[in-house]
Structure 1
């Protein structure tokens, strides 16, 4: 079994909660063994700072100062979102975000499910009691326009799946992208055009300085009247007060939100009681232990062999 520095095992420091340590320790170590890499897993306090080779990170871990871990070759995030660590001034190590098949597939299923729920008007029969015998025939997917904000790994996969179902898909991103079956727009100047056709608007953007409150009152007013919003990117994408106002005016018919500025959503927040809001408790694209462990192990193996790290975060872009 190959080990780092001759007979010395690689040391992984888990900057996670104790519960996540129990969930991920053995799957990651097993995935490394399958790659002939001997490794040890530790929590803060169980290993000298200078002996740490890699840091496995998730929000909620005790480490906020990464400077003492000067020999660590990378910080490997278990989550796709890295906005809570990317701006940490003490972080000299390369930072890698999580991109894996389980996370991608989970997001596609969640987005497509709620897009179809909106498209088919399923709440009309599922949620409203008592019902009257009133037949509602929705348009076909080919007659419905969907806009996906964000064409990264998750957004591109969701846009592709929706296009395959026949929806007229527009994708919008900061820089030019290509997605089969979708009209792709890029740059701030094209955002109004992307919003103007969004009968269903799907938010899958990361949190960056440019995306905070991107959907403010002015931009929500560009949506077709009666549109639907599905947000599974970051809660800061939408101005909460502006969304409530758009729902009350009928500009937005319904909003399904999986991400929020504060999580859990505070008990007095109007989202809890508003009839046009569905709260989903940040479950759209949960990291799956099995597939995520393989990605962590693959990145360690690449680093040990001198290959470039996967999913390296660009600090200037925050993702």
Structure 2
């Protein structure tokens, strides 16, 4: 039916995802020519160009981008409806897409994923590592992992780790050369490895507590990064002091590669949580992942 409003939508979504007609054809199992014809037919019906095509790349037009933002959630709903039929088979399957910060890899994913993949081989897991804030619904993720205070209020959140205590750490060599700060104000005479938020681009000011009051310090430093793992590595190398969640430096502190200072002044915040829209918890693949994560959390407490 040429007037069927769904004609061409599968091809449109595939090309928008792959940014390539050839890759989109491979993704949905048709020929590149079939994809091109479907897109041309869709553009003709809509009276608008959805893609800009060159010999090197395929990009969405402004109209195409606006169309994608409206169509993708509906397509996700339809895909979810089909996936719910998997409940009758009692076997989770499909592609589970997760957005996680780098610090979640050793703390959650490394111990969890091998067991999950062994228990549920029909679930393919795709992990996107990103320390920036991510709209998981708009970006097509099934769930995300973030520090509790960074999660939107309309999401369901399930705890994965204990609360986080923030720490200031440096290498033994750094402290031997520069001495140890005794108060937050002393940091103005030290060298920091500064952190720039990937999303906003703002430099993070180190936060402290004294006598029930919050204070922050803009610690000077000649190196700025936007990756937590690089903060750890540069601190271990003696480049400067770093301000990090205790969970992310526990191994380095235990091994003596890093040492903590200013403990009486450092605040705590909620730990890592896995979060997702309420409607997503009906998906067997996500429920299976949550069950495995809950088991890991229980074992961590025992």
TM-score by length of 1: 0.30
Higher relative contact order (CA 8 A, sep 6+): 2
Which has the larger helix fraction?
2
Which has the larger strand fraction?
2
Look at both structures and tell me which one has the larger radius of gyration over its CA atoms.
2
TM-score by length of 2: 0.31
